[in-house]
Amino acid sequence: MSAIDQMFRQLRADGRKAFMPFITAGDPDLAFTGDVLRLLASRGCHMGEVGIPYSDPIADGPVIQASFTRALSAHVGLEQIMRAATSLTPSLPMPLVTMVSYAIVYRHGLETFVASARAAGFAGTIVPDLPIEESGPLARICRQEDFSLIHLVTPTTPFDRARRIADASSGFLYYVSVTGITGERSSLPAHVGEHVLRLREATPLPVCVGFGISTPEHVRLLAPVADGLIVGSALVRRIAEAASRPRADVLQDIQSFADELLAALPGGPAAPPRAVP
């Protein structure tokens, strides 16, 4: 049972939902990435998604694309990220997964990537541009290593195909709430809840929702039907301000934002908030 499986088992036993922030590794540098992850964990977040910078992302909007560009301009690569994670994860009270393009995984070698990620303390990976038809080799390695391979389902995915994707996934199933790219939205499509409930009936895996979630209202809308909520662009936009503002102030803004969204979950944060590290 992976760390992600254990996390969701405990949350379900407690009747709680997961709050799962996404941030880009190395934006503006890896030291600040560690500071943000430690802060988010201290506020009661349950799992962190760490984006591996890539020059040609297929589903990311301008905010996350810009963060990738900043990290790549600072020469942040996979090896540096793995070294930084190796130092960070032993003291981090929440599991981490990578969000990574298959081109990066393939270039490093499937077995090498999984072994390196596990050794660095990652519990799984999300590979958004890996078609289910081509996922077999990586899925086999992940199963052997008890390393979660998380696939995505979109609003336009036919239901039979969504079942196949769910069957090939481990850890959780990532439901994309909108048709399009990542980014903050003022409102979410009315069909999201219905689609998530249908997926939950089709798979024993937790179903988590991402893309567009950025307000307490979004959290209150989706928490009754989803097993977890993923917030990315709204956090990445705040992190970008570290280039022009004191980092302590940026961390305080991130803390306030995370606290606001966590408070909207049923039952609030899983643990009493602690001070900014």
Catalytic site residue 129?
A: no
Phi-psi region of 24 (alpha: psi -120 to 50; beta: other; left: phi over 0): beta
Helices 78-88/110-119 angle, 10° precision = 30
Catalytic site residue 60?
A: yes
User: Given 5, 27, 35, 49, which residue is catalytic?
Assistant: 49
Q: What is residue 53's DSSP assignment?
A: P
**89 vs 117: CA distance, rounded Å:** 11
Closest to 21 (Cα-Cα) out of 1, 42, 58, 50 = 50
Cβ atoms of 34 and 63 within 8 Å: the answer is no
User: Given 27, 60, 184, 227, which residue is catalytic?
Assistant: 60
Per the structure block, which two tokens stand in for 164?
A: 């196949």
| Amino acid symbol at 56 | D
Cβ atoms of 68 and 22 within 8 Å: the answer is no
Q: Quickly list DSSP for 35-48.
A: HHHHHHHHTT---E
Closest to 73 (Cα-Cα) out of 22, 36, 27, 35 = 27
Closest to 134 (Cα-Cα) out of 148, 119, 149, 146 = 149
List alpha helices for the chain, DSSP H: 3-14, 30-42, 62-73, 78-88, 102-108, 110-119, 136-144, 159-168, 192-202, 216-222, 233-239, 247-263
Cite the active site residues: 49, 60
